Amino acid sequence: MYPKTMRTTTMRMTTAKILIPAVLLMGAVACGGDDTAPGAAPSVTEMPFDVATAGNVRGMVMFEGTPPAPEPIDMASEPDCLERWDEAPVRELVRVRGGHLADVFVYVKEGLADMQFPVPAEATLVDQYGCKYLPHVSGVMANQTLTFRNSDGLLHNVNATPQVNRPFNFSQPVNMDTNRTFAQPEVMIPVRCDVHGWMLAYVGVVGHPYHSVSGDGGGFDLSDLPPGDYVIEAWHSRLGTQEQRVTVTTGETAEVTFTFNEGMLATAQVPMADPIDPHYHNPLLVHLGRHAHGGSGDHAGHTHAASTDRR
Sequential DSSP letters for the chain: --BGGGGSSSPPPPPP-SPPPHHHHHTTSPEE---PPTTPPPPP-S-SS-GGG-EEEEEEEEEES-PPPPEE---TT-HHHHHTBSS--EE-SS-EETTEEPS-EEEEEES-TT---PPPSSPEEEEEETTEEESSEEEEETT--EEEEE-SSS-EEEEE--SSSPPEEEEE-SSEEEEE---S-EEEEEEE-SSBTT-EEEEEEESSS-EEE--TT-EEEEEEEPSEEEEEEEEETTTEEEEEEEEE-TT-EEEEEEEEETTHHHH--EE-SSPPPTT---HHHHHTT-PPBS---SBS---SSEE-B--
> What pLDDT is recorded for position 146?
98
In this structure, is residue 1 part of a structural domain?
no
Q: Is residue 176 predicted with pLDDT exceeding 90? A: yes
Q: How many whole angstroms separate alpha carbon 185 and alpha carbon 205?
A: 5
How many other CB atoms are found less than 10 A from the CB of residue 81?
22
The count of structural domains within the chain is 1
> What pLDDT is recorded for position 55?
98
In this structure, is residue 183 part of a structural domain?
yes
> What pLDDT is recorded for position 193?
96
Round the average pLDDT of the chain to a whole number and report it.
Answer: 82
Domain housing 70: 16-35+48-307
In this structure, is residue 200 part of a structural domain?
yes
> What pLDDT is recorded for position 271?
85
pTM for the model = 0.79
> What pLDDT is recorded for position 1?
54
CA atoms within 13 A on the CB side of 82: 9
Handedness of CA 214, 218, 224, 228 (dihedral sign): positive
In this structure, is residue 40 part of a structural domain?
no
In this structure, is residue 287 part of a structural domain?
yes
Q: Is the peptide bond before 199 cis (omega within 30 degrees of 0)?
A: no
Task: Name which of 23, 29, 93 is nearest 63 in CA terms.
Answer: 93
CATH number assigned to the domain comprising residue 251: 2.60.40.420
Question: What's the rounded mean pLDDT across residues 85-98?
Answer: 94
In this structure, is residue 265 part of a structural domain?
yes
In this structure, is residue 189 part of a structural domain?
yes
Question: What's the rounded mean pLDDT across residues 123-149?
Answer: 97
Question: What's the rounded mean pLDDT across residues 11-22?
Answer: 39
Question: What's the rounded mean pLDDT across residues 272-295?
Answer: 43
In this structure, is residue 110 part of a structural domain?
yes
Q: Is residue 281 predicted with pLDDT exceeding 50? A: no
Q: Is residue 71 predicted with pLDDT exceeding 50? A: yes
How many other CB atoms are found less than 10 A from the CB of residue 293?
21
> What pLDDT is recorded for position 38?
44
